[in-house]
Amino acid sequence: MRVTVRLFARVRDLVGRGEVVREVAPGATVQDVWRDLIAEYPALEPYTSSVSGARNLEYVRMDAPVADGDEVAFLPPVSGGAL
Amino acid sequence: MATPQFAVTASPLDPLAVASAATGTIDAVGGLVAFTGVVRAENAGRRVLYLEYEAYEPLAVRAFGIVGQEAAARWPATGLSIHHRTGRLEIGEVSIVIAAASAHRGPAFEACRYAIERVKQIAPIWKHEHFEGGDVWIEGATARPDDEEARAEALSRACG
């Protein structure tokens, strides 16, 4: 099955594109999609502990399942900022 | 067309429109507080030239809605409006406007402060800082609305 992956900010820069379509196995989770991306773009690895995920415009945990046609987004840490 | 309560836009922000979107959501307004975020010329010892804001726009608008629901649960009868700008912003330009309206000043101040802290924690909006000598993506918090520790921190900042 296929999912559309949306990438932002530095993670988008590292991959070189803001949107990629990935083929994933049935039963795959958001985490599996991320690992699959790292296999092709190892520079993403340092983001594993800080990235968060969204599926079809809802925040989800990395162990959430994905389905054919889903839009999965990986969000690097957001702006933060001093007080 | 009425100003949306929550918005992400590439156009310059209008603080008065955001204020009126906040007051329009409640009946009794006695206090209106607005926070305006402005692009600063300096960051971490660097001279900033300009910023580029990037957003996952539809999720950012939903994130503002989540913040609105959280604020409504904590401060009933308080109206909130949040608008964030995207694209290239020069020094001194307004990047975000948050308005909170309530019957009294207390809840309006608290809800406004809470909202900016939560937006910084969870909204999928990123700042690409261009400074003298380079550029860097500013990365802060992992965006997870269900992180109760972060939420408690925002509440504590809001309520002193």
In a domain, A82, yes or no: no
pLDDT of A81 above 70: no
> B78 near B72, Cβ under 8 Å?
yes
Nearest CA in chain A to B55: A8
0.90 surpassed by pTM: yes
Q: Which phi and psi angles does A44 have, rounded to 5°?
A: -80, -20
> A37 near A24, Cβ under 8 Å?
no
> From CA A53, how far away is CA A63, in angstroms rounded?
10
Q: What percent of chain A has pLDDT over 90?
A: 94
DSSP code per residue over B76-140: TT-EEEEEEE-EEEETT-EEEEEEEEESSHHHHHHHHHHHHHHHHHH--EEEEEEETTEEEEE--
> B60 near B125, Cβ under 8 Å?
yes
> B114 near B74, Cβ under 8 Å?
yes
In a domain, A52, yes or no: yes
Q: What is the pLDDT of residue B1?
A: 62
Predicted ipTM of the assembly: 0.95
Residues of B within 8 A of A13 (CB-CB) are 137
CB atoms within 10 A of CB A18: 15
Confidence at A79, pLDDT banded by 50, 70, 90: confident
In a domain, A11, yes or no: yes
Return the residue in A4, A6, A71, A79 with the most chain B beta carbons within 10 A, the one to mutate for interface testing: A79
pLDDT of A83 above 80: no
Residue B87 distance to chain A (closest CA, Å)? 12
The minimal CB distance from A57 to the residues B58, B120, B127 is found for B58
Nearest CA in chain B to A81: B140
The minimal CB distance from A77 to the residues B54, B56, B142 is found for B142
Contacts across the A-B interface (CB distance below 8 Å) = 76
The minimal CB distance from A80 to the residues B120, B144, B146 is found for B120
Domain that holds residue A56: 2-60
The predicted model gives B96-113 an average pLDDT of: 98
The predicted model gives B74-96 an average pLDDT of: 98
Show Cβ contacts of residue B32 under 8 Å, excluding neighbours closer than 6 positions: B19, B22, B23, B99, B100, B101, B108
Show Cβ contacts of residue B137 under 8 Å, excluding neighbours closer than 6 positions: A9, A10, A13, A76, B126, B127, B128, B129
> From CA A34, how far away is CA A29, in angstroms rounded?
9
Measuring CA to CA, which residue among B86, B79, B118 is closest to residue B100? B79
A54 has a chain B CB within 8 A of its CB = yes
In a domain, A69, yes or no: no
Q: What is the pLDDT of residue A82?
A: 63
The pLDDT tens digits of the residues spanning A41-78 come to 999 999 999 999 999 999 999 999 999 999 999 999 99
CB B59 to CB A73 under 8 A? yes
Nearest CA in chain A to B60: A57
The pLDDT tens digits of the residues spanning B33-71 come to 999 999 999 999 999 999 999 999 999 999 999 999 999
CB A73 to CB B140 under 8 A? no
Nearest CA in chain B to A14: B137
Q: What is the pLDDT of residue A80?
A: 66
If one counts the domains in chain A, the total is: 1
The pLDDT tens digits of the residues spanning A19-44 come to 999 999 999 999 999 999 999 999 99
> From CA A30, how far away is CA A53, in angstroms rounded?
7
In a domain, A33, yes or no: yes
Q: What percent of chain A has pLDDT over 70?
A: 95
The pLDDT tens digits of the residues spanning B9-30 come to 999 999 999 999 999 999 999 9
A21 has a chain B CB within 8 A of its CB = no
Nearest CA in chain B to A62: B144
In a domain, A36, yes or no: yes
A4 has a chain B CB within 8 A of its CB = no
State chain B's maximal CA–CA distance in angstroms: 51
pLDDT of B160 above 90: no
Confidence at B2, pLDDT banded by 50, 70, 90: confident
- Domain spans of chain B? 6-159
- What CATH architecture is B6-159? Alpha-Beta Complex (3.90)
Q: What is the pLDDT of residue B141?
A: 85
